[in-house]
Amino acid sequence: MGGRDHFINRIGRFDDPVAQARGQAICAEIWRDAQQGDLDLSLNRYRPLVEGRDQDLLNALRSLADDKRQARVTHAYRVVKRFGLPLRTKAEVDRFLAWMKAEGLAASTQSTILCTIRSVQPGNEPLRSVQVKVPARSVQAEVLSREEIKSVLDDLRSNEEWFYPCFALWLGTGLRNAEVIGLTWDCVRLEEGELLISKTLKRIGTATLQRVWSGTKTGKARVVPLSKQVVEVLRKHRETMQCLGLNTKDGLVFVTPRTHGHLYDSGLEKVWKRSQRRVGLAPRRLYAQRHSFLSHALAMGNSPADLAAVAGHRTEELLRTYAKPTGRVKVPTW
């Protein structure tokens, strides 16, 4: 092209008739598109597929997920892998969008996935040209009201007895996912009514269940206060674990009911959404527990600086992200 050779992909040896046929088919496809004015200058469209999948795209997304260790990148990799078809032409991209919609993925999620794919394939013109319209979301969407929180906790206490202590602590502290999953008993100070958050169990790249010990998001330890109600829930939970012979000295506070291994996001999300549906609520994501706790704590009149220290945020970031309407407005009287 333009006097330069461009590497497409290795398709076999020169003396292999099958490889020769593949090469001729690719050349014919490139020539046809060039004559029709539809040539993909990135040549991405012409790379051979592996079992019908665009292996170059999957490898690029996997490498990005291993490097970034961000949930959005990992999710994009899994969605593209599950889709199982290439994304090289406009028709293929349109089919991918229709498939994501049929899978029930929100418009914001679809947009994030497309953005992630574009970051590893900047020359993919069909992807660049498509946009997903994301409707404006209410700032209150992630915050449960006091009544909703009470109804969900009552349901969990009755129907998800094993997981109830985990969600009671989560809604009572607003911890991050990896902090809840990695909480150990040596960091629980029931007499003082507080937690020491100094470590987390973070997911390893694109692995669904594998996690590795790590520090906090900010790299600093912090102390999180507990209400009397949460302290009592943890006391009873520790007694239950002691009866089962589990480690209540420095072992994990919350474990799976069968294998007694660490918890994981997808399992917790199923329990969380299942409970919300039972009480007639539109299911929110797991992170809504952090949003709900911090928004209500702000509405109660707590100092933003104090809450930022508890949450592990800068004060301005806390106000920008978590200062959402809760319905708790104190009306002045004269």
Q: Convert the pLDDT of each residue in 212-240 to its tens digit.
A: 899 998 889 999 999 999 999 999 999 99
Do 180 and 292 fall within a single domain? yes
Do 192 and 305 fall within a single domain? yes
Do 312 and 192 fall within a single domain? yes
Dist CA 165 CA 66 (whole Å): 32
Whether residue 268 contacts residue 286, with contact meaning beta carbons closer than 8 Å, is answered with yes
79: tokens are: 């969605």
| Rg of the chain, C-alpha, whole Å | 25
Calculate ∠ Cα 68-72-77, nearest 5°: 85
- Token pair 């969990």 in the structure block, residue: 156
Do 63 and 151 fall within a single domain? no
Looking at residue 138, its pLDDT comes to 53
The yes-or-no verdict on residue 139 having pLDDT over 60 is no
The yes-or-no verdict on residue 30 having pLDDT over 80 is yes
Looking at residue 208, its pLDDT comes to 62
221: tokens are: 């330890």
Please report, as a single letter, which amino acid is at residue 185: W
Do 167 and 112 fall within a single domain? no
Kindly state whether residue 334 falls inside one of the protein's structural domains.
Answer: no
- Cα–Cα distances in Å, from 20 out to 9, 14, 23, 202? 13, 7, 5, 47
- Token pair 């919300």 in the structure block, residue: 276
Which residues, including other chains, have CB under 8 Å from residue 219's CB and lie 6 or more apart?
A: none
145: tokens are: 């009201």
Dist CA 67 CA 179 (whole Å): 21
Looking at residue 13, its pLDDT comes to 82
Alpha-helical runs (H) found in the chain: 17-35, 55-68, 71-83, 90-102, 107-120, 125-129, 146-159, 164-173, 177-181, 228-243, 265-278, 288-299, 304-311, 315-322
- Token pair 């490097």 in the structure block, residue: 67
Confidence band for 53, pLDDT divided at 50, 70 and 90: low
Do 155 and 120 fall within a single domain? no
Could you tell me where the beta strands, DSSP code E, fall in the chain? 188-189, 194-197, 200-203, 211-214, 222-225
Do 98 and 221 fall within a single domain? no
Whether residue 80 contacts residue 61, with contact meaning beta carbons closer than 8 Å, is answered with yes
Note the residue count of the chain.
334
Do 176 and 67 fall within a single domain? no
Closest CA to 233 of 279, 152, 288, 167: 167
Q: Determine whether 217 is exposed, middle or buried from the number of CB atoms within 10 Å of its CB (0-12, 13-18, 19+).
A: middle
Looking at residue 325, its pLDDT comes to 73
Structural domain span for residue 211: 146-322
Do 50 and 159 fall within a single domain? no
Do 114 and 152 fall within a single domain? no
Kindly state whether residue 10 falls inside one of the protein's structural domains.
Answer: no
Kindly state whether residue 26 falls inside one of the protein's structural domains.
Answer: no
Q: Convert the pLDDT of each residue in 174-192 to its tens digit.
A: 999 999 999 999 999 999 9
Q: Convert the pLDDT of each residue in 11-20 to its tens digit.
A: 778 888 888 8
Instruction: Give the chain's domain count.
Output: 2
Dist CA 268 CA 171 (whole Å): 13
Kindly state whether residue 51 falls inside one of the protein's structural domains.
Answer: yes
Kindly state whether residue 30 falls inside one of the protein's structural domains.
Answer: no
Going by the DSSP 8-state scheme, the letter that residue 138 receives in this structure is: P
Kindly state whether residue 140 falls inside one of the protein's structural domains.
Answer: no
Looking at residue 96, its pLDDT comes to 93
Do 81 and 150 fall within a single domain? no
Mean pLDDT, all residues of the chain:
87
Do 314 and 276 fall within a single domain? yes
Residue 230 sits in a domain whose CATH number is: 1.10.443.10
Q: Considering the entire predicted model, what is its pTM?
A: 0.68
Dist CA 78 CA 105 (whole Å): 13
